[in-house]
Amino acid sequence: MKPVLFVTGHAPFDREGAFARLHEREDVEFALFGGRSQHGVYDLGAGPTDIPASPARDRPRDRSLPFPHRHVSQREVAALAASGRHRAVVVSTGGRIALPGAWAAARRAGIPLILWTSLWAHPRTLAHALSYPALLRLYRSADAVVTYGPHVSAYVRARGARNVHVAPQSVDNEFWSHPLAVPDVGLPPAPPWPEQAAVKFLFAGRPVREKGLGVLREAWLQSGLAAPSAALVLVGVGSIPPWVSVGGAAWRDVPLVWRLRSSLRGSHGSSPPIPADGVAPRGMTEITAGRATPSGVTEIPAGGGAPGEATWIPAPGTAPDGVVCLDPVPPTQLRSMYAAADVLVAPSIATRTFREPWGLVVNEAMNRSLPVIASDAVGAVAGGLVRDGRNGLVVPTGDPRALAAALRRLADDPPLRARLGAAGADDVQAFTHAAWAQGFASALDSLGLSRGGRW
């Protein structure tokens, strides 16, 4: 039986095991476009990164991938798909030339085409509006469609897709749940959590608006959580995060400030009294009766209010109390940070160009028995992995107040954290590389092209 051709522009660390299992199951050859830096690299969102070698799991970027593959340009995909050497062509929705090229070539050669898609909301830009009719045609004409989960399946079925199958999103569960040993030689030690933090929240992702950092920042302030009792570590955002508001405007880097509660609508945090000597705490700027010093602070609203009614919030561009911002870290170090944390936070928001297809950090964290707080814009929520009250808390997207309440609730309830985390560790075991590969095997079987059998 001829192999299957699988065309994709991204074969990162967390996909390797899934691709290898699919090859073992169905004999698959992978055509990788997009440059070698897109393949075999663990990416927390800051771009391609060389990963130190270690005995546990990390490998250098130039190692061989554990499945048959060839590196191609997008323009070479059409000729490969039309070569007649494959019994089916699987193509993902990425690639402006690779996708239409593979589709047209497979049709000309009479080879069944399987579409692998993650979209559950089409991006709202002019370029995507122009591509939408072609994508609709692909949904309707593909011989089979494989999706990230039931949320994507519902989306493509509503647009005419037929013969739809689910390949549940997976990570290397064995790696992420593996008992921790002594730190790997050559890896930097994980930065310490804020001293005496009783409850530790963790975010891991790219420093971009759609990941919900602006919402998370506002929620942290509203929650009243702060060092030393609580900590929030943001992994992958860089040491100086590009804070972004819910509306998308970038924050400017200015000092911490005092603000009068009577001068602000919806002030955040508690109301610490202004010190008797009138001097603001270290790292903060004093504001009295609506007047600010020094000149670095702008647009301080005038208004009365007794000094005792003052509250403080970190000004834009600064990290709130108890928040630590870190660069991306390699997998073994991130695994240790999951083990040290108490809760994972995934506050993604939907934008004109992006809606979180899944969020594999959820799978990773659940393997370490972490409860998850996630917005309903996260694919892992819509796809059925994160279930409110079962293994995490689900909040409306873009709602800092709801997120703050969830943060506070889990901070105050250790038994609830333990119960949700234990359920998550059980639930994630259904999301395996074998189950992901079986989704594609089912699509091939529906076309009479599977090598047969189930694991």
Residue 342 and residue 217 share a domain: yes
Say what the alpha-carbon torsion angle 49, 355, 230, 277 is, to the nearest 10 degrees: 100
Lateral strand order in the sheet of 392-395: 323-326, 230-235, 199-204, 343-346, 372-375, 392-395
Q: Is 334 within a domain?
A: yes
For the chain, the domain total comes to 3
Which among 329, 312, 315 is positioned nearest to 234, based on CA atoms? 329
How many Å apart are CA 121 and CA 142, to the nearest integer?
A: 19
Residue 44 and residue 158 share a domain: yes
Q: Is 455 within a domain?
A: no
Which among 175, 165, 171 is positioned nearest to 438, based on CA atoms? 165
Residue 215 and residue 115 share a domain: no
Q: Name the domain boundary from 295, 313, 331.
A: 313
Residue 40 and residue 115 share a domain: yes
Residue 302 and residue 413 share a domain: no
Q: What pLDDT, on the 0 to 100 scale, is given for residue 128? A: 79
Q: Is 452 within a domain?
A: no
Residue 330 and residue 273 share a domain: no
Q: Is 193 within a domain?
A: yes
Q: What pLDDT, on the 0 to 100 scale, is given for residue 28? A: 97
Q: What pLDDT, on the 0 to 100 scale, is given for residue 183? A: 55
Residue 277 and residue 260 share a domain: yes
Q: Is 453 within a domain?
A: no
Q: pLDDT tens digits, residue range 365-384?
A: 999 999 999 999 999 999 99
Exposed / middle / buried, residue 69 (Cβ in 10 Å: 0-12, 13-18, 19+)? buried
308: containing domain: 256-313
Task: Give the pLDDT of the chain (455 residues) as one tens digit per residue.
Answer: 999 999 999 888 889 999 999 999 999 999 999 866 566 655 443 333 333 333 333 433 435 789 999 999 999 999 999 999 999 999 998 888 999 999 999 999 999 999 999 999 988 888 878 889 999 999 999 999 999 999 999 999 999 999 999 999 999 999 999 998 655 544 445 556 676 789 999 999 988 889 999 999 999 999 999 888 899 999 998 876 655 444 443 333 323 333 323 233 333 333 333 333 333 333 333 333 333 333 333 333 333 333 333 333 444 445 667 888 888 889 999 999 999 999 999 999 999 999 999 999 999 999 999 999 999 999 999 999 999 999 999 999 999 999 999 999 999 999 999 999 999 999 999 999 999 999 999 999 999 999 975 43
CATH number, position 331:
3.40.50.2000
Q: What pLDDT, on the 0 to 100 scale, is given for residue 46? A: 33
Residue 300 and residue 274 share a domain: yes
Q: What pLDDT, on the 0 to 100 scale, is given for residue 37? A: 54
Residue 153 and residue 54 share a domain: yes
Q: pLDDT tens digits, residue range 315-367?
A: 444 566 788 888 888 999 999 999 999 999 999 999 999 999 999 999 999 99
Residue 13 and residue 76 share a domain: yes
Q: What pLDDT, on the 0 to 100 scale, is given for residue 192? A: 61
Cβ(232)–Cβ(220) below 8 Å:
yes
Residue 403 and residue 360 share a domain: yes
Tell me the longest C-alpha to C-alpha distance in the chain: 83
Q: Is 19 within a domain?
A: yes
Q: Is 454 within a domain?
A: no
Cβ(376)–Cβ(355) below 8 Å:
no
Q: What pLDDT, on the 0 to 100 scale, is given for residue 452? A: 75
Residue 160 and residue 77 share a domain: yes
Q: Is 27 within a domain?
A: yes
Q: Name the domain boundary from 313, 332, 362.
A: 313
